[in-house]
Amino acid sequence: MESRRAQGDQYEVVVAKKFVVLSLLLSVILAFLVGRTARVMILADHRSEGRFHSIAGASPLQMPLSTIAVLPDPVLKPGKTAPPTQYMSKTFDTTMSASTQSRWIVTEDGKQQCTNNLGQNDECAAPLTKISLDLNASHGKGTSFSDPERCNNEVNGNEDEREHLPVGQHLLMDIENVDNDFLNSEQRLATAMLELVDRCGLTLLSYHCHKLKPKGVSCAGVLLESHVSFHTWPAQGVITLDLFTCGPNSLLPLVPTVEKLFAVPPVKGVTQPKVVWAHKIRGFDDESKEDIALISDMQYFPVGRMTDFKMEIISENTKFQRVDIYDVILAPFQNLNDYRKAQSTDGSYHSNHPELFEPDRFLYLDGVLQSRRSGDAAYHETLVHPAMFAHANPKRVAIIGGGEGATLREVLKHKTVEKAVMIEIDEILVNVSRQYLPSWSDCSMLDGSASSCFDDARVQTHYIDAFQWFIDTFPSGMKPKEDPFDIIIMDALDPQVQKDFVNALYDGSAFLHSLPNALADGGIFVAQVGAGGAINDPAEHLTLNLNRIKFIESLVSLGFPSIRDFTDGGHSGFEASWQIIAAFKDVNTKADWLANPALVDLKIYSRSLPTIDGTTPFQYFDGPLMQTFHHPSKQSEVHFCKGNPTIKDCIQGHGFDPERENLRLSDTLEVRQSTLGERAGRGVFAKVDIPQSAYIGLDKLIPIIHGSTQTFDLMGKWCNQIPWICDYFWGEELEYYTFGYGHIFSYNGLEEVFVDSTFHCFINHACTAANNVGHNLTVSESNADPKVMHTEIVEYYYGRHSVYNPAADRQVHFYSSAFPLRNIRAGEELFDNYIAMSGRSLVYWNESVTELKAQCNGVDVGIVREYDTREEHRKQNP
């Protein structure tokens, strides 16, 4: 280096390159030596002095290392190979900690790296223990944080080498009333944590614990598969723990193990530990889509929810499915204190009625909720009895599925039943249900039955594939191999389950084609079809309910003339109202389905098997409940119309338009002699111009006179079989009034009659021109064959579109006389089309056509009956 004087007072310094290089090199070497010396001195200070807080109030620097409770080391299980990892940690302000400790596994590679960094010393010869309150970062080479690509789990010593996706299980547990000393002992807690990890076949790479002031311990461990941690509050006797793993093994079996290791009861005191836990499925895994039912049912509740009490009763894998049964106390409807009081013998109301406070019991098959004790009766009575009491005399009943026995129990309550055949593929499920769900198949209350419904003399069980059994026993288009059934109940396979064989079953399968052959005349097929949708849901063909639509369409194609759907009203304890369908082989069965409550109660009284104590065998079912099944739910109507927006019932709706003018009857119509002649009697005329856009006295027309199918049947029987009853009590006037002024319809099965309660009833039939009010029908009777006209009418009102039509089933358009079909001028007579008011029966049709033609030709004819009884009518109109 040299300096040179330049011009003026300026100087120029020249530095040699060698000088610059040597200066930099010496600086680096000096910095390395200072840092190395400081590191060794600091570690030596920690080993010799130990910096931690005492539990007796002494200064941390005054306590020797020998007084620290050294925590156990994590140990790599035999056969396991730890992935290459690097331990990194940073400790922040730990003034609230009494001590901190970290423990980790050190492999041979880790020891070599440690030796390279620290030289030959004791720290590299054994697993390291770090005890510090440093605010500085500490780094050490070892094996700790796991490589996500090596997230595997051990099963009986074998590693699962499958590709691990970003999905895992999370077990959360809260425990109270735990021993105070246990919760404040780092060593006991860490030992319990290591034992838990070992029992579940996981690998703990490292863990870090803080003992807090004045009491409490917090530990977090890094697993090869994910992590484990816990926090304690000794003064309150509480510990919270969570375990997350991406391994394939379920964490649910670990719940009892965690309870045994961490729910340590207090040395003094009678209160036992209370455990609340939840198991969550977390992450993203496209391959688990077929397990959506598992995640939404059993995982949603009870497994995935923190509840005061839940207990796994049994979890068993059969050849066909996994069976899980849980007991759960569900807040806010139940609470643990009431349950504990009910278990006492203190003479309280709780102890005298323990059955009212017991936990609810849930049955899951492959994670899908099948039944629960609190909803068992509501669901199975709804599934079974509407069809059983709608049938005239059900003797032979088949049950598809129903392995828990509750469907069978309800069927056996009917004294008409001579044989009940249950076809269930899973015999183990039946045995598990008999042991753990005994009330589901309890028939001990029925006089003449058995203690278990499965042992009733009327029962025949087949442990085979029910669908194949029907295909083989009742082949489509061939002679059945057994007598057909009056009732078939399918309580299996929710259509929402996304499996190929489920999709095939509900879409025109061979099993469905066997049903018409398997049902006797007048038979009914009943099936649960899963959760009902919400009104705001999209059309069902875009949802998981697509199979339900295909199922119903298949039944329509098979020739069932009428299909009804109804729900349990949400009383079965499922997440949503449960939907059920009933398909009738005979359309006339609808009349008994819609019977009034008193008639249903009479059937219950006369057809139910007596009970030993003389009470009713039904907890819920009665006539008023049956009345709630007369019409489909509003949701069903809305979804049907979303999928069928062009059907007239969906377009017209219920026919009430609040914006449409309703003309006052007395100002609009008058009654005088009909223009059809004297023999036509009175007619109804417009006093003012009536626009097509208005109603005509709708408010007065709605309170209609209605004769149900049973009332109509009774009138016909009495007046034809016992004429003096009509003559003495009613005379012929009532019958003449009913048939002369009434509208006869057969939409609900057999004939029923509606009579307008206003002078709408005097509106005559349009003989020479199209009608201007009422039924908008284009069929004309002038030169047509009556049978051809009848066929057209039946198809128009009762054709395929009406077989399953929740919109029509919820609507009653008996007020058609209030609807103008065109503009009507003042003075013009109002005419309807009576051809549309004669019902489905060809007998009534012929009578009506004869009377209408006679009336239009000016001939006075009386009402002529071509049959003596409704039974004869049924024979003439199969």
Catalytically active residues, by annotation: 491
Q: Partners of 322 in the beta sheet?
A: 317
Q: What distance in Å separates the CA atoms of residue 627 and residue 605, rounded to the nearest whole number?
A: 17
Q: Partners of 229 in the beta sheet?
A: 220, 242
Amino acid identity at 797: Y
Yes or no: say if 229 and 69 are a contact pair by the CB < 8 Å rule: no
Angle at 681 between CA 677 and CA 682, to 5 degrees: 110
Yes or no: say if 178 and 262 are a contact pair by the CB < 8 Å rule: yes
Q: What distance in Å separates the CA atoms of residue 18 and residue 799, rounded to the nearest whole number?
A: 106
CB under 8 A, 24+ apart: contacts of 756-760: 756/701, 756/704, 756/705, 756/817, 757/700, 757/701, 757/703, 757/704, 757/705, 758/665, 758/697, 758/700, 758/701, 759/665, 759/669, 759/671, 759/684, 760/684, 760/696, 760/697, 760/701, 760/817, 760/818
Measured between its terminal Cα atoms, the distance across the chain in Å is 124
Q: Partners of 219 in the beta sheet?
A: 209, 230
Helix-helix angle 546-557:510-518, to 10 degrees: 50
11: which 2 tokens? 């100087």
Yes or no: say if 465 and 400 are a contact pair by the CB < 8 Å rule: no
Cβ-Cβ contacts under 8 Å for 313 (sequence gap 6 or more): 325, 326, 327, 361, 436
Binning the chain into helix, strand and coil, the percentages to the nearest 5 are 35, 25, 40
Angle at 770 between CA 767 and CA 771, to 5 degrees: 85
Place of tokens 């998981």: 544
Tell me the chain's radius of gyration from C-alpha atoms. Answer: 41
Cβ-Cβ contacts under 8 Å for 60 (sequence gap 6 or more): 50, 51, 52, 53, 54, 133
Neighbours of 255 (CB within 10 A): 18
Q: Which of 461, 516, 519 is nearest to 486 (CA)?
A: 519
Q: What are phi and psi of 283, to 5 degrees?
A: 100, -165
Q: What are phi and psi of 79, to 5 degrees?
A: 90, -10
Angle at 158 between CA 156 and CA 159, to 5 degrees: 125
Amino acid identity at 684: V
Q: Which of 687, 649, 692, 671 is nearest to 818 (CA)?
A: 692
Neighbours of 497 (CB within 10 A): 17
Q: What distance in Å separates the CA atoms of residue 168 and residue 825, rounded to the nearest whole number?
A: 77
Q: Are strands 519-531 and 485-491 parallel, antiparallel or unpaired?
A: parallel
Yes or no: say if 747 and 837 are a contact pair by the CB < 8 Å rule: no
DSSP output for 765-798? E-SSS--SBS-------SSS-HHHHHHHHHHHHH
Burial class (CB in 10 A: 0-12, 13-18, 19+), 322: middle
- How far, in Å, are 1, 484, 515 from residue 521 at the CA level? 119, 9, 12
493: which 2 tokens? 């396979």
Sheet with 360-365: list strands edge to edge: 309-317, 322-329, 360-365, 368-372
